[in-house]
Structure 1
Amino acid sequence: MGILKQITLYIALCSSISSSSAFSLKNCTISTPLKDTQPKVLCYKMGFFSFPLIPTNTRILDISFNAFTQIQIGDFSHLSNLQDVNISNNKISQIQEGAFDSLSNLTHLNLASNRLKGISGGMLHGLTNLLVLGLDNNYIQDIEESAFSTLQNLKVLNLTKNHLCYIEKIKPVFASPYLEELYIGSNHFDAFNSYEMSTKPLSLKRLDFSNNPLATFHLTENIFPSLSHLDLSYCGQNGTMIWNVTEKTFFASVKTLYFMDVHMSAQNAANVLQSFKNLSNKIRLNGNVKLNKTNLLLNACSPVLKVVRLNANKIKHLTNHMFDPCSDLAELDLGDNEISELSPSMFRGFTQLKTLRLQINKLTRITNSFQMLFTLEFIDLSRNSIKTLTCKDFANLTQVKSLYLYSNKISVIDSCLFKDLKSLEVLKLGTNHLLRISDAFSNGPHSLLDLQLSFNKLSKIEKYAFRNVSQLNNLSLQDNQISEIEGHAFEGLNNLTSLLLSSNKISAKTLTRHQNVFSGMPNLKNLELQANSISFMDDQLKNPPFTDLKQLRVLSLHSQRRGIGKIPSNLLQGLSSLEMFYAGNTNLGHLNPDTFKFNPQLWFLELSKNALSEDNSIPAELFHPISGSNQTLILSRTQLRSLNFLLNANLSRLSTLRARGNEIDSINKTLIQSLPRLEVLDLEKNTFTCDCNNAFFIDWAKNINSTQVIYLNKYMCSYPPSLRGMSLSDFNTESCTLKTDFICFLCSSIVVILTLLSSFVWHFLRFQVVYAYYLFLAFLYNNKKKHNGSTFQYDAFISYNNEDESWVMEELIPKLEGEQGWRLCLHHRDFEPGRPIIDNIIDGIYSSRKTICLITRNYLKSNWCSSEVQVASFRLFDEQKDVLILVFLEDIPTHQLSPYHRMRKLVKKRTYLRGPKPGEDTKIFWQKLKMALEIKEGHNSDRGIL
């Protein structure tokens, strides 16, 4: 039974590997280029209950946020190249031992946010090169002793938010000799005794004990000689935690202590901090609202300490001597408090302070509070209520490189404000109440590289507004009310590479009113103008606005509020280096063929959410100037009905095509062949027709291994109605395929069958076939006669054998023609020379009122006589008239008629004449024959002998 199971598993795996060789993965995407031999596959948030098909060469796999309940042997058997796997946020409660045996190359494994209750001895077997393991947010209560014995290279282990209660349960993890980071916060440890964890020195460098109800902490052995980071945040139980560290040197290597919002008495807190005094250089004291801040700093600060964070402590006032013990600090974080006032005396003791954070407080002014902080390099005053700034507020701060003033209530900036900020490189003034900046930067800062003025109320950019900040690289002016930009407004910004003007009130008039709107920025690479009111009516502009931007790489015009209307043919004139153009969501209905004739380097074009439903909305000529480089084309939700415009677009280098959410019903072979370098194709949410028109596309998408067809299994049939809602990939294309081998087999089979059938018919049914053939000819002739309304030419057609010709000539003709005056049709006399015999027979019979068959043994052997009888009998059957007279000149027994079954049937049903025997009186015979000829056609005589 075990062998059978293994064979079944092997077959399933082979099938899996084969099926995943193409890149049309079900509910998964490949985020790396397809030429990458070890791709990154993303399958998160797809509702998987079982393991999906994954390419065998996958290097990174993300299958998080699904519904897996277990990991089985075989799930990863064909994925030996995996290096990073994220299986977090599933419902995994079981991992079969040996499930990871094939993952010897795996370095990162994330199993967080599942339902694991324990770690068994063989669960992690095979992960010999694993470096990082995430098991946080599970239900782990127990770890078997041998669980980590094979993880000899593990460096980081996260067991946060589990159900571990006793510290000795952690001991098995140290079977990984090089473990450097251990996170065991948010468990249920109420006591820590070092001997329960280990009796030997550990290699840990980072240890997180946070969010545990520790009542005791006993460290009696130096098991943490390399520990540099210790997190004791949110620990303690009712303020009674006992701290017992027998030697202060046990934490000699700890440089960073997180001591946030601890639940312990002031004395216990002091004992903890004293254990790290003169050792740590960084301490977080956030959220210790109930502890005296002065005492905290007194017990923590030392000449070694460089960073103190006091966030969220509800500090309202800073006393003058509060920071005296911390004069050697390099960084002080007082963010998220309730500080409303500052004074220079508060910070006078600092001699080395470089970073000061005062964000999220209640400051309304600064009042020159930083004048003594000569070493300050970074100031964060964001998210306060500062309304005004004076020229002295930043006096003497010559070393400051970054100043954050965003999210305040500043309405005016004086030109003297930044005169002392000689080193300022980053200035953030966004989300304030600024109305104008005409001369705000007339005195610099000259070293400024990044200026943020977004989310203000600026309505106009004046001429030369930024020429004294000529070193700027990035200028952000989005989300203002800018409707006017004067000529030369950006003059002097020779180093500017990014200009953000989105979400303003810029119109076409703003851009074209002056010829030099964007002059003075020769190195601008990125220009964002989306979400404005730019709209054009003309096909060509008198003053194209971007002619000076020779180095521009990215231009964004998408999401214009009123719609762009049209793109003038010379709008992009001058942008010879343009590589990426965004024009989506602009209500664009047509593109001029000359739109990109000035942009030969363009490789990325985004036109989504437009109205391009007309056949000529996107002319093929549009792409001819830009066909020389690899391209990305995004046409999602543009009402496209077809992609046939690409056939003549010369986009042989197109690598990414996204056209989801359109009305495309078919993709033909010619279109696919015109895009030989296509790597990513996204056509989800189109109105595909499930018929043979898409057969090539379906087969191509399933089997191609050079193009990733995004979410092929989600392409749904819209037509015909009977298949609506069915997956396009499920459509059976075999019925559409013309298979040569099958056709040859079918044709040869038909030939053999027909040969056998014809042989059978000829051998057994040839008389019936011949009879049917003559009947058919008679039928055609009869219809023709009826149609033409012809009259009879003869009284009787004489059917006889040549052997009986003497009797006909000597007896029959003299009696019927000579004495009675009948007109007879004789084949030797009345048949038309050169005409087919059968045509003469049919014509003769249907031109005569009756047919007289002179039957002898020779007659029965004659094929032509048989044909004459058959035609005459069909006429008899068709007209239901007495048109046939049988005359037996010889006595022929019934059994001799059987080979000629037609004659036998006629004898049984028809009255016939016997010829006069030698010595008999012939008068009676001729009298009966005369009577038979004179009987009207509609009369049927009884069967018998005359």
Structure 2
Amino acid sequence: MVIRLISSLAVLCSCFWTSSWTAAMPDCKISHLDDKSFVECGKKGYAMLCDHLSLKQVPQAYPKPVNKTEFTPPLCLLDLGYNDFNRLENKSFVDVVNLNSTEILWLYLHFSNLSYIASDAFENLTQLLYLNLSGNNLHLSDSFGQGVFNPLVNLQFINLKKNHFETFEKIGSELSVLKALTVLEINLCEACVFGADFRMLTKLVKLGLAGRSENDCYKPVVRNETFLYVTGVQELFLSSCSINTIERNAFSYFTNLTLLDISYNQGLNFTGMNEALFGLRNSSTLKTLNVNRINPIYEAGITLELSHIENLKTLRSLTYLHMDLNKIEVFDENILNPYQLPSTLRDFTLSGNRLTYGNYTRFIQNANGIKSLDISRQHLNFDPFKHEHYGVEMSAYLRNLRLYRNSSILATMNNDCPLLCDISLPSSLEKIKWRKSFLNVEIKTPIRICASGLKYLDVSFNLITNLNEIVCGLDNLTYLDISENYCSEIQPAFFKKLTSLNFLNISENMLGQSLHPDNSQRGDKLFKGQQNLTVLDLSSNKITHLSKDIFKPLTNLRHLNLSDNMIEEWNSSLENILCLHDINLSGNKLYGLPESLTNYLNSLLDKDCCKNKSTCVEVNLSSNPIECTCKTLPFLKWMRYSRVVVLFLPNDVCRLNGENYRFDSNENLEHLISILVNDKCRDRSWVIWTVSIACVAVTFIVSVGISFFVYRNRWKLRYIYYSRNRRYRHEGFERLFENDAFVSYAKNSASFIKNQMVPVLEKQHQLHLWVADRNSLPGTSIAENIIHGIYNSRKSVLLINREYLNDNWCDYEMNMAHIESVETKRNLLIVVLMEEIPMQKLPICLLKFLRNERSIEYPEDDRDMSAFWLNLAHEINSS
């Protein structure tokens, strides 16, 4: 019974303990290691990320990885940064659940508000290699327990930057036990000196004292004794430390120094640099010197004097020299004539200065030995080598050279290449970077650059707007970048001598018109002789069309970039390219690819260069308006079943039946193809013919019907058109008329109207007649005058004779009067037969008028004229 009770209590205690640490377990994340720590951990292990959790104490339990295949033990990196610990207590990493502290190699405790670390806080961390304590509140007086670093017998790297050390006295004694320490990162303070305790760090080879933000590192004067006890350091970083003076023997203790960085100390200047290098005179170990921005930003440009490099030129192993952002405008010509820089110098960067033309440019070729030169970001609006731009007096030699260049003999010599050099560079120079310098150049005449060793040239992001002439002397150039230059003109002559090119980037220009097939066929010859070219970038050039044979000479091309242009249809041939690996056509206006191109891409898969490769040929068609139509169905099938890799973005779609269809997977593509094959693209020619015939028949019937209707109602339609502006209609005699009668007559009756009809009816019978020859309104069409006369007259009198029947306007007046009579329901018409006309010659419409309307015959005897006029006047006045 007692035994059972004890067991129950044990189980209960165990459950309580488990639940308690489970409840206290932080929300840490398990992750893969970065590349550096992955190598350090033997290419295995995982990381535990407990950063940014506002933890008040170091956790005593951590989550366990569920997938041990993906996250193979051990827990190699523990990140506890950006928390709020304040204190790191004893045994913080001992008996911790799911954590074997002896396996941890990397420990981050940065920016965690630590102000105290107990003596045994790091117990069990015997294998730790990397410790980051930066960004805390550690002081020298009371922040470290005695022997705090004793357990870290294998520690190689410690970061103590951005803390509050005012001296190195106590920290030196604590760090002295780290016999394996090779890298120390700590900020240099004004009174900081590496005392005798640091000589115990015999393996210390890298000393990082640089500041990363304002006030991190402050050391206006570096004294001679500062580095007395760290003589084994090989890499010393002192950048951004507000240094104004480095005493001349401060670096004299470094017998193995290979790298020195004193950049971004703007109070130092070149005079201070020269003084600092005194202790390293004749050094046979220093290979890299960084002196970027050691001159004040807001001062005038400077000349690099020979006195500035008196100690630098003695360095016997200097290979890399970085003098960026120092506002250097010119070099003292005595630096280059004779050449005073170390003969071992291979890589020289002057990026971000203000280099302009000076006498020193005549002696650049003397800098033999330099292989790489970076003069980017000079922010010039001119070419410093084109001295005539500035009105500088040229030497006799250069003046003679220019005169010789202008001779007529020279223009025909050496395949149009000048015999003398426009620009002379050291024969050892292999690489030049001259980016973002507003270099304003138009190559309109042949030029020679004497640079036999030059292989790499980057002049991107400048203002090289014209490439229309030959460039000689660059026979070994393999890499050329002329991107982002606003270049709009290019001629085949430019590449004529650049036959060794392997990489060519002319993207981000405006060469669309220059490469257009209609532009004198220059596109077909542009790359003639470029058999060695493997990479060609023509992206973002506003290209709409390319010549069919523009890529014909590029037999060894591997990578072609035509992205972000405006190509709507692919017309160029790639048949001569033996083994193209990828072509980028993204961001164009292609609805698909033609069969000739897809067949070519398929053929590449069977060549030797693609054997034993799962993905050999890629085509990027993202951000193109690919069509989902029967026209592009063969292309869609090719995308699905070809082994060529076709790349799209996840949001690339095509529209079909008003819906968006994605084709970023085989399943989506097959679904789209099935819709087209089974529905949209089935043979429905019989439907088309049936519908077409039906449409033609219906159109014919409707046309006939409309024509018949229009012809039958032609007079009414005319009447409606010309009377459309009437403001109102009248019925009966609800309105008064302007005229008593509208007279319709043929031209041969004009004298009768004027001499007989008008005098009798208007003077004797007091009637007012509308007569065309008298009452027509000027500026108004005949048809509108007729309608106006009929509409504003009580009656319409038709004087019928043979000429009347043959006159089109008389016919128009008769029919308009009839339509007015019908529309207004008035007895409007009075037909007067002026002569005897056989009935068979009268038109049907007139016979209807004679049957239904009032008619009067003109008398043959003059004695009956009075009665005629009286009857006519009576008819006009009748209602």
Please tell me the TM-score bracket, short chain as reference: 0.5 to 0.7
Does residue 228 (structure 1) correspond to residue 182 (structure 2)? The answer is yes
Alignment CA distance shift 1:85-1:384 (3 Å): closer
Q: What letter corresponds to residue 375 of structure 2 in structure 1?
A: L
Q: What letter corresponds to residue 177 of structure 2 in structure 1?
A: I
The residue aligned with 1:382 is 351
Instruction: State the 1:455 CA deviation.
Output: 0.8
Segment of structure 1 superposing worse, 160-169 or 477-486: 160-169
The correspondence for 2:453, drawn from 447, 454, 468, is 447
Instruction: State the 1:354 CA deviation.
Output: 1.7
The residue aligned with 1:273 is 227
The residue aligned with 2:570 is 567
1:627-666 matches, cutoff 5 A:
629-634=643-648, 640-641=654-655, 663-664=660-661
Instruction: State the 1:379 CA deviation.
Output: 0.9
The correspondence for 1:214, drawn from 155, 162, 165, is 165
More helix by share: 2
- Aligned equivalents of 1:190, 1:528: Cα separation in 2: 56
Query: In 2, are the aligned partners of 1:185 and 1:211 still within 8 Å (CA)?
Result: yes
The residue aligned with 1:758 is none
Identity of aligned residues (%): 18
Structure 2, gaps ≥5 residues long: 1-7, 16-23, 36-42, 66-71, 95-99, 297-301, 387-419, 605-615, 680-879
Query: In 1, are the aligned partners of 2:505 and 2:537 still within 8 Å (CA)?
Result: yes
The residue aligned with 1:186 is 135
Instruction: State the 1:412 CA deviation.
Output: 4.3
The C-alpha deviation readout for 1:485-511, integer Å capped at 9, x for no partner, is: 222533454543321111111125426
Q: Give the alignment's TM-score, normalised by structure 2.
A: 0.56
The residue aligned with 1:89 is none
Instruction: State the 1:143 CA deviation.
Output: 4.2
Number of aligned residue pairs: give it.
561
- Aligned equivalents of 2:182, 2:446: Cα separation in 1: 46
The C-alpha deviation readout for 1:830-887, integer Å capped at 9, x for no partner, is: xxxxxxxxxxxxxxxxxxxxxxxxxxxxxxxxxxxxxxxxxxxxxxxxxxxxxxxxxx
Q: What letter corresponds to residue 366 of structure 1 in structure 2?
A: F
- Aligned equivalents of 1:603, 1:675: Cα separation in 2: 24
Instruction: State the 1:216 CA deviation.
Output: 4.4
Does residue 357 (structure 1) correspond to residue 322 (structure 2)? The answer is yes
The residue aligned with 2:739 is none
Q: What letter corresponds to residue 106 of structure 1 in structure 2?
A: G
Does residue 202 (structure 1) correspond to residue 153 (structure 2)? The answer is yes
Instruction: State the 1:584 CA deviation.
Output: 2.4
Does residue 527 (structure 1) correspond to residue 466 (structure 2)? The answer is no
Does residue 293 (structure 1) correspond to residue 290 (structure 2)? The answer is no
Q: Secondary structure at the match of 1:220?
A: helix
- Aligned equivalents of 1:665, 1:375: Cα separation in 2: 59
- Aligned equivalents of 2:578, 2:158: Cα separation in 1: 55
Q: Secondary structure at the match of 1:346?
A: helix
Does residue 347 (structure 1) correspond to residue 309 (structure 2)? The answer is yes
Query: In 2, are the aligned partners of 1:586 and 1:610 still within 8 Å (CA)?
Result: yes
The residue aligned with 1:577 is 579
The C-alpha deviation readout for 1:525-551, integer Å capped at 9, x for no partner, is: 221111112113xxxx76521011122
Query: In 2, are the aligned partners of 1:450 and 1:475 still within 8 Å (CA)?
Result: yes
Alignment CA distance shift 1:231-1:668 (3 Å): closer
Does residue 148 (structure 1) correspond to residue 93 (structure 2)? The answer is yes
Q: Secondary structure at the match of 1:575?
A: coil
Instruction: State the 1:424 CA deviation.
Output: 2.1
The residue aligned with 1:367 is 332
Structure 1, gaps ≥5 residues long: 8-68, 77-81, 87-103, 644-660, 677-687, 694-946
Higher relative contact order (CA 8 A, sep 6+): 1
- Aligned equivalents of 1:348, 1:72: Cα separation in 2: 60
Instruction: State the 1:313 CA deviation.
Output: 0.9
- Aligned equivalents of 2:264, 2:491: Cα separation in 1: 46
Query: In 1, are the aligned partners of 2:626 and 2:654 still within 8 Å (CA)?
Result: yes
Instruction: State the 1:318 CA deviation.
Output: 1.8
Q: What letter corresponds to residue 260 of structure 2 in structure 1?
A: V
Does residue 457 (structure 1) correspond to residue 463 (structure 2)? The answer is yes
Segment of structure 1 superposing worse, 325-334 or 631-640: 631-640
- Aligned equivalents of 1:431, 1:208: Cα separation in 2: 37
Does residue 402 (structure 1) correspond to residue 372 (structure 2)? The answer is yes
The residue aligned with 2:208 is 258
Q: Secondary structure at the match of 2:353?
A: coil
- Aligned equivalents of 2:148, 2:202: Cα separation in 1: 19
Alignment CA distance shift 1:372-1:573 (3 Å): same
- Aligned equivalents of 2:588, 2:164: Cα separation in 1: 58
Query: In 2, are the aligned partners of 1:575 and 1:598 still within 8 Å (CA)?
Result: no
Does residue 471 (structure 1) correspond to residue 471 (structure 2)? The answer is no
- Aligned equivalents of 1:377, 1:637: Cα separation in 2: 48
- Aligned equivalents of 2:579, 2:123: Cα separation in 1: 57
Instruction: State the 1:269 CA deviation.
Output: 6.2
Query: In 2, are the aligned partners of 1:111 and 1:136 still within 8 Å (CA)?
Result: yes
The residue aligned with 1:137 is 82
Q: Secondary structure at the match of 2:307?
A: helix
The correspondence for 2:596, drawn from 594, 610, 617, is 594
The C-alpha deviation readout for 1:25-80, integer Å capped at 9, x for no partner, is: xxxxxxxxxxxxxxxxxxxxxxxxxxxxxxxxxxxxxxxxxxxx97569x97xxxx
- Aligned equivalents of 1:156, 1:385: Cα separation in 2: 44
- Aligned equivalents of 2:592, 2:146: Cα separation in 1: 77
1:425-440 matches, cutoff 5 A:
425-432=430-437, 433-436=439-442
- Aligned equivalents of 1:297, 1:125: Cα separation in 2: 55
The correspondence for 2:237, drawn from 275, 279, 284, is 284
Alignment CA distance shift 1:524-1:623 (3 Å): farther
The C-alpha deviation readout for 1:260-291, integer Å capped at 9, x for no partner, is: 35656768966542332x322221111222x4
- Aligned equivalents of 1:471, 1:338: Cα separation in 2: 38
Q: What letter corresponds to residue 584 of structure 2 in structure 1?
A: Y
Query: In 2, are the aligned partners of 1:85 and 1:110 still within 8 Å (CA)?
Result: no
Alignment CA distance shift 1:469-1:198 (3 Å): same
Instruction: State the 1:256 CA deviation.
Output: 1.7
Alignment CA distance shift 1:305-1:343 (3 Å): same
Segment of structure 1 superposing worse, 198-207 or 411-420: 411-420
Alignment CA distance shift 1:156-1:542 (3 Å): closer
Alignment CA distance shift 1:603-1:674 (3 Å): farther
Query: In 2, are the aligned partners of 1:489 and 1:518 still within 8 Å (CA)?
Result: no
The residue aligned with 2:553 is 548
Does residue 337 (structure 1) correspond to residue 294 (structure 2)? The answer is yes
- Aligned equivalents of 2:490, 2:433: Cα separation in 1: 22
The residue aligned with 2:860 is none
Query: In 1, are the aligned partners of 2:267 and 2:295 still within 8 Å (CA)?
Result: yes
Q: Secondary structure at the match of 1:365?
A: strand
Query: In 2, are the aligned partners of 1:637 and 1:662 still within 8 Å (CA)?
Result: no
The residue aligned with 1:516 is 525
Alignment CA distance shift 1:205-1:215 (3 Å): same
The C-alpha deviation readout for 1:522-576, integer Å capped at 9, x for no partner, is: 232221111112113xxxx76521011122222222222xx223222x3444334
- Aligned equivalents of 1:282, 1:375: Cα separation in 2: 19
Alignment CA distance shift 1:404-1:220 (3 Å): same
Alignment CA distance shift 1:623-1:459 (3 Å): farther
Alignment CA distance shift 1:296-1:641 (3 Å): farther
- Aligned equivalents of 1:324, 1:667: Cα separation in 2: 65
Query: In 1, are the aligned partners of 2:88 and 2:118 still within 8 Å (CA)?
Result: no
- Aligned equivalents of 1:668, 1:469: Cα separation in 2: 47
1:71-220 matches, cutoff 5 A:
84=33, 106-123=45-62, 129-143=74-88, 145-149=90-94, 150-168=100-118, 171-191=120-140, 195-199=146-150, 202-217=153-168, 218=170, 219-220=172-173
Q: What letter corresponds to residue 213 of structure 1 in structure 2?
A: H
- Aligned equivalents of 1:670, 1:285: Cα separation in 2: 59
The correspondence for 2:629, drawn from 615, 626, 642, is 615
